Amino acid sequence: MDLSLTQQWLNNQVKRYSASSQIIADVLATLQTEQSLKIKSDIFTFDDGRTQSLLCIHGLLPIHYKNNQYNIPVAIWLNLDYPVNPPIVFVVPTSDMLVRASRHVDPSGRCSIDYIQLWERKHEGCNLQSLVQALQVHFSQHPPVYAKPKTVPSGPVPSPVPTPVSHSPVTYASRPPPPLPYSPPVLPPKPGTPAQAPNPASPHPSTALPRHLQPLPTPGPPPPPPPPPAPAPSPPVHHHHQQQHHLLQQPFHHPPQQYYQQSSPPPPPPPPPAFVPAQIISPPPAPTPAANFLDQDDDEPIAAQPLPQAYPHLQQYQTRQAPAPPLPPNPELVSLHAQVHHKISAQLGALTHSFAQESERLRSEQSDLLAGHPAIQDEMARLQAVRDVCRTVTAKLSQSVHATERNLGELKRKGDPEVDELVCSTSIVHNQLVNLVAEDNAVEDTIYHLHRALNAGRVDLERFLKTTRILAEEQFMKRALIEKIQTGLSLPVAVP
């Protein structure tokens, strides 16, 4: 596998890492071993919300579980202080996988196997390639993901379809209708007769039910079912009482059950009434609107619709079952709310006072800082002037030091001078000047000693004056010549 391009890319990406050379070596060794893994640079978000641009090794990690090979999608993030801190390993399940949480894998997919814990205790000797091998061994024993179970979509249960019954009135016992009136489906007509629409039922009827739907005074057992071609029957008494009993069991905030009858053309005069059981068919339930808990008040009772006039005893029972009043608030909860409100109010006052004091202190510091700005500017200007003077003196001193070093080098190059060169001069004029100065000093010393001898009485006055006059004339001539030589050599004239 050619990793030259990867290495060039890594050289540009690892500049922000402290151990860049080790990262390049470990990453290339890992990619050379596991060719299903790839390297990228992406933004990683830590648990505390910090984000960093880190290197990430991602891809499929092959494992062997129960003699079968599987590929585990992983993502290994390298910290900036790698290898001091171990990489951050995540299992990244696909859409058809789920993470199997365990002691070493949390529900988010982050892995903390034993090798990572060893790395945290002692990072010496740990590297990325060994971590990948440890992940393969651990995942082969404890797979971190499993296949998502496939769910079979459950379809809606089909509602029963009304079945027509010939030569008999059909009664439907419907479920509690929605707030709006429900229009039942039209039954197919009897063969040979025109179809007629059923009479719509109103939730608030103003008239009694038809005669053939009114309850009979005494119930009786239903007779056996007759053959299909039967005359127009009367409504079964026992079935109607069952409908009344069913109405008593319903919640009374819903409208009563409605009956629909398919009418047929007027038959000839019927024979004595025969009881034919009616077939009860439930129409499909009407769609109930979803409750909106944001717009509905919990304390407002649901308005109950009145029962038809045909059921006065049920209407009286509904009147007695008035909606319960709202429950009073819990006194313990009210007291707790009051205590919490009092405590928060007290703490809020103290907090507001402390914030006000802190704000005043900050304003005072701000005014002091603003007032000190001109002084700081003046001090900066003075320091800049001192800096310029110091730079000038430093330049001159540097020149003097360089000249001194140059002279020292020259003297060292010449070596030690001879004794005669130290005593004698380098030219005739200078030697003459040296001799004249020496003779002048000698004449002066002679006059001094003659004076001492005169005082001591060793020389008489006449001899002293004669000798002193001769020496003074000689000294004058020598000093005149010395001054002339100094002027000619541009030497400073020494005043005796």
Mean pLDDT of 162-166: 43
User: Residue 328 has what pLDDT?
Assistant: 82
Chain-wide mean pLDDT for the chain?
Answer: 74
User: Residue 426 has what pLDDT?
Assistant: 75
pLDDT confidence band for 176 (50 / 70 / 90) = very low
* Pairing of the two strands 88-91 and 110-111: antiparallel
pLDDT confidence band for 331 (50 / 70 / 90) = confident
57 has a pLDDT exceeding 70: yes
45 has a pLDDT exceeding 50: yes
Tell me the CA distances in angstroms from 228 to 24, 102, 224, 390, one per residue in order: 93, 70, 12, 130
Structure confidence by residue, pLDDT tens digits, 332-353: 899 999 999 999 999 998 899 9
Structure confidence by residue, pLDDT tens digits, 190-222: 444 444 444 443 334 333 334 443 444 444 444
By the 8 A CB rule, do 99 and 179 touch?
no
pLDDT confidence band for 455 (50 / 70 / 90) = very high
Tokens of residue 121, six digits: 């205790």
pLDDT confidence band for 491 (50 / 70 / 90) = confident
Tokens of residue 488, six digits: 């000619």
CATH topology for 4-147?
A: Ubiquitin Conjugating Enzyme (3.10.110)
Mean pLDDT of 68-85: 92
320 has a pLDDT exceeding 70: no
Break the chain down into helix, strand, coil percent, rounded to 5: 45, 10, 45
**Alpha helices in 176-223, H assignment, sequence order:** none
Say which range, 50-59, 90-99, 148-157, 311-320, has the weakest mean pLDDT: 311-320
Structure confidence by residue, pLDDT tens digits, 413-448: 988 877 777 777 778 888 888 889 999 999 999 999
Q: Where in the chain is the domain with CATH 3.10.110.10?
A: 4-147
Mean pLDDT of 119-135: 91
87 versus 210: the higher-pLDDT residue is: 87
pLDDT confidence band for 152 (50 / 70 / 90) = low
41 has a pLDDT exceeding 70: yes
∠ CA 31-33-39 to the nearest 5 degrees? 15
How far is 240 from 243, CA to CA, in rounded Å? 5
Strand, coil or helix: what is 72?
strand
Mean pLDDT of 176-188: 42
User: Residue 204 has what pLDDT?
Assistant: 41
Nearest to 128 by CA among 12, 4, 14, 44: 14
Mean pLDDT of 397-416: 91
Mean pLDDT of 175-186: 42
Mean pLDDT of 111-117: 92
99 has a pLDDT exceeding 60: yes
Q: What percent of the chain has pLDDT over 90?
A: 42
By the 8 A CB rule, do 74 and 59 touch?
yes
pLDDT confidence band for 322 (50 / 70 / 90) = low
- Phi-psi bin for 66: left (phi > 0), alpha (psi -120 to 50), beta? left
User: Residue 402 has what pLDDT?
Assistant: 95
* Residue 237 CB-density burial (10 A; 0-12 exposed, 13-18 middle, 19+ buried): middle
Mean pLDDT of 156-163: 48
Mean pLDDT of 234-240: 40
Tokens of residue 135, six digits: 């992940």
Structure confidence by residue, pLDDT tens digits, 353-381: 999 999 999 999 999 999 989 999 999 99
36 has a pLDDT exceeding 60: yes
180 has a pLDDT exceeding 70: no
Backbone angles phi, psi at 53, to 5 degrees: -90, 110
65 has a pLDDT exceeding 70: yes
233 has a pLDDT exceeding 60: no
- What is the pTM assigned to this prediction? 0.35
